[in-house]
Structure 1
Amino acid sequence: MFDQLESLDAKFQEIEAQLQDPAIVSDSKKLRELTKLRAELEPVVLAWAEQRTRLKQLEEAEGILGDKDMDPELREMAEMEIPDLKKGIEAGEAELKRLLVPKDPKDARNVILEVRAGTGGEEAALFAGELFRMYIRFAERKGFKVSVLDESEADMGGLKEAVAEIEGDGAYSVFRFESGVHRVQRVPKTETQGRIHTSAATVAVMPEADEVDIQIHEKDLRIDTFCSGGKGGQSVNTTYSAVRLTHLPTNTVVQCQDERSQLKNMAKAMTVLRSRLLEKAQAEVDAVSSALRKSQVGSGDRSEKIRTYNFPQSRITDHRINLTIHQLDAFMAGQLEPVLEPLRAAFEAERLQQLQG
């Protein structure tokens, strides 16, 4: 590990020197690449610098302690410092191992987020609408750009389904653990006897696919245009700007009616279609490889019940890591960190264990 860390440190210093080169500064593409790489290496380099300092301090303290001619007070101070230094070195080594876990190349991508009402009728649709708004609030708090591509409203004001594009560096790394079945337990508005009902909504989080990831041939597409529905004003609702794409080989259907321009809706619908096809292809690979299905945290299987929202007790339970918190109102307002951070830590710990095993 030390050789790898020294190599990364040397690479970081090389990049620092390159970023001072006027020729690099004037090349926007090269500058962007180097700046991104520097940002990726910096946490590792800083953590390694701190660890080197601790290792040097431990060596000096042990040297003082072993020197019988040294001042007794200095030897006493060294003896007191050594346990704390050893604890710091142990924690620093764990942090460095975590930082050296290979990053998923998809983590930096934008996200296609889909929320659908599951079992539970109108109550499920209401919950789906609340989940969708929760994710939008969370994304906006994180500084991501959110574009609602399609919404299908239910009779009582909830959502049958909704699709959004979330743009921002690292969006997939933030949202990746949300795929699955979200269960809600509460008294519905239509319940007259105060009984608690259980309903569910399904969430899919897909990394936005590039054209190079998935090739879609024109002969495999059926394209339909129609008037946009719902919110949007007169011109949106009376022109054929909305687009529906059907991928014939897989019978995958997507639609977009977010923009006034048919061309823009076409481009966004193609983005969603590529992402869905990429997800299907990845699911087929995962089904074959049992190693990729070991972790409930990382599998993202939509059939899994991943979380329960209990409104009477203001309780959220994430079943993948057996975590329960009682902050439901804040969570539904978009403050997802108390659950997402432990999920990320569990995922990284398991990946590290798999790599070491």
Structure 2
Amino acid sequence: MNIDEILKRYDLVLSGDDFKVPLDNGREHFIYAVTNFRGGIGKTTLSFNISYKFSQNYRSLFVDVCPQRNFTELLMGKEINDEGPTIYDALLGRIMGGAWEEATQNNEPLAKRVKDTNPHFSSIKNSHVIPGSNELFLFPSTLYTQLNQYYAMGGTVKTKAVANLLCSLKSIIENEITDLKTEKVLIDSSPFFGGATHLAWMAADALIIPVRVDEQSLFALELTLKMLKDEESDFNLWRQRADIPFKPKVQAIAITHCGWNRQAEHQIDQTSIMFIERAVEIATRYADCFSTDNPIDHFALLSDFQGAGKISGTLGIPIDKLESRKFHTVDKKRVQVNKSVERYKKELNYLYKLLD
């Protein structure tokens, strides 16, 4: 698979040269979901840094549907432990029906203002986060029990009832959009499809898929695209049962942890190139899952962020705000920001351009 086009663009990105970004349809997508079926690849750190990019230009809403709720912690810090409604509470209100929703109603807003808890968001567009919850680990059984009960019922209303369940997260988001005058939404999902990630796909206009340069990630990429395309997949079967014609398109594949060739400027190492070629080959086989006809245009290459990524993902500091050579304390150890952080900023900015 020839990936020269991607590598040439990567060189231009890092050189700071002017060039035309291959995608110009990012603004058509209002709700994005960051998704993959593999954990431990820096997905949430990537979501956090994309969220900062969105906040620089749009009134944004961030939604955490991963039960580990790391995205919430990066945006809310110590406030994560405060009492208050979470996305789990909101979803149960929709899934379990009016009696449950009425019993759990309170006057506290669901979405929290990010600049109140993360100072790095204080001088940009007003953005909000709907907090995640560890209880989302329990949510898949609740969701599919209700879906199966509704689908087993007779009559013509079962299709609409199933659709209401599948669109429950979308309805929650749309209510917040209206109240907050939101311009962009970013959902951070879990590496497991069942439950809230399923609902994130139903809510999203487009998907962002991080893929690490390793075998498991390539396998997960193919599983993700197959789930999206295959009409017999759980995602599409339930969509058909609800008579919902729409499904999200892939807008970006972010290849993460690309190795760096130290002997040649702006060059990816050969091992990473091999994985990129295979990822492009997989994407090409599922070309109709993408928002344009040319999957290769949807690829962005990201280095192994090393210390900068650890600082960003632990302390809740956007990579754009990190300064080269500055020290930070992470897990009681002093970590210095490497000068390569300037390269990371350029790479993230290019990924953002594919979305904007």
Q: What range describes the TM-score normalised by the shorter chain of this pair? A: under 0.3
TM-score normalized by the length of structure 1: 0.24
Higher strand content, 1 or 2: 1
Q: Which has the larger radius of gyration?
A: 1
